[in-house]
Amino acid sequence: MINSRSRLFAVFGDPISHSLSPLLQNYFFSKFNVNGVYVALRVRPQRLREAVAGAMAMNFAGINLTTPHKQEILSLCHHQSPEARLIGAANTLVFKDDKIHAFTTDAAGFLVSVRTHLARFSGSHVVLWGAGGAARSICFALSRLGVEKLTLVNRTALRGEELAAFCREHLAIKTVALLSPDHPELAESVTRAGILINATTMGMHPVTDAAPLMRFDLIGKHHFVYDLIYNPRLTRFLFEAEKRGAAIQNGLDMLIHQGLAALQIWMYTDYALDDRMYHEIVAKLSAELI
């Protein structure tokens, strides 16, 4: 029950109407007896500084960041966790003693989400679309999973080169390549890779006809295709991959586990989901998807 002692939390993003984070976190609050309320707020990139200052002024207990704020937020923070500093992106803020502390839980959420597919990653070749904050966290996670070769695909060369340099200099991935979406070598890379990951917003509701890869004939039964998007539950990328026999997964499980990790940071408590709670929240979130 919301009252005058309820602690305030929010997620900042643009767009934000698709977000299931309020449903997720308010479920956690009810199950773990946290007197809090969590909302989604649209914050345009040019207003991020004002929005964070306003949240501090109103004594918010915690903030999540989603697209497009995960990298830009670091310039506003007084302290960064070692992982956020290394990755160069954050999705979780804590306000303490008039200071902004930044953390990232995306990599941890991804690692838990692929727990039943771990054998696919060791020594594998991964093609990853995107070069934003989420993509940087996924690259960090892939290095921990023992991926041997990583092909990055990004429309903006400069941002792609920055991520490729980060992977080569700081992550234990043997081979890192960068290709544009229309590069002639991309088809061969996709065919040879075992894992395809979309870390862009292409295919997110409401623009559901889009996909990072339109050559669906390149996808086969040997592929594991992962899309960080969770709304729609079956993006065109996943739909076409499944039709061709690939194993697929959307970003819902990652959302749940990165959200739980954020709550643990805010409340300094090691909350855990039992099987009943996990299946209950999956059902609640899935009911909201198209």
Mean pLDDT of 228-251: 97
Q: What is the pLDDT of residue 183?
A: 97
Domain CATH number, residue 228: 3.40.50.720
Q: Does 226 reside within a domain?
A: yes
* Shared domain check, 279 and 156: no
Same domain, residue pair 242 and 280? no
Q: Can you read off the two tokens belonging to residue 156?
A: 């903006």
Same domain, residue pair 133 and 209: yes
Does 82 lie in the same domain as 55?
A: yes
The average confidence (pLDDT) of the chain is 96
Residue 66 in domain: yes
Give the tens place of pLDDT for each residue, 33-59: 999 999 999 999 999 999 999 999 999
For residues 131 and 63, state if they share a domain: no
Residues 50 and 118 in one domain: no
Task: Write out pLDDT tens, residues 9-21.
Answer: 999 999 998 899 9
Q: Is residue 2 part of a domain?
A: no
Q: Look up the CATH number of the domain holding residue 84.
A: 3.40.50.10860
Q: For the chain, give the percent of residues with pLDDT over 70.
A: 100
In this predicted structure, the answer to whether residue 190 has a pLDDT above a threshold of 80 is: yes
Annotated active-site positions, please? 70
Q: pLDDT at position 206, please?
A: 86
Residues 50 and 62 reside in one and the same domain: yes
Is residue 266 scored above 90 in pLDDT?
Answer: yes
pLDDT at 290 over 90: no
> Would you mind telling me the total number of residues written for the chain in this entry?
290
pLDDT 10s digits, 83-102: 999 999 999 999 999 999 99
Residue 1 domain-assigned (yes or no): no
Residue 240 scores a pLDDT above 90: yes
**Are 13 and 122 contained in the same domain?**
no
The answer as to whether 133 is a domain residue is: yes
Q: Are residues 70 and 23 in the same domain?
A: yes
Does residue 39 belong to any structural domain of this protein? yes
How many domains are contained in the chain? Answer: 2
Report how far apart the first and last C-alpha atoms of the chain are (Å, whole number). 29
Residue 284, pLDDT score: 96
Summarize the confidence of residues 138-160 as an average pLDDT. Answer: 97
Residue 65: give the domain boundaries: 7-104+255-286
**Residue 226 near residue 195 (C-beta atoms within 8 A):** yes
pLDDT higher than threshold 80 for residue 1: no
pLDDT at res. 18: 85
| pLDDT, average across residues 53-68 | 96
The rounded percent of the chain whose pLDDT value lies above 90 is 97
On whether residue 58 sits in a domain, the answer given is yes
In a domain, 187, yes or no: yes
pLDDT on residue 172: 86
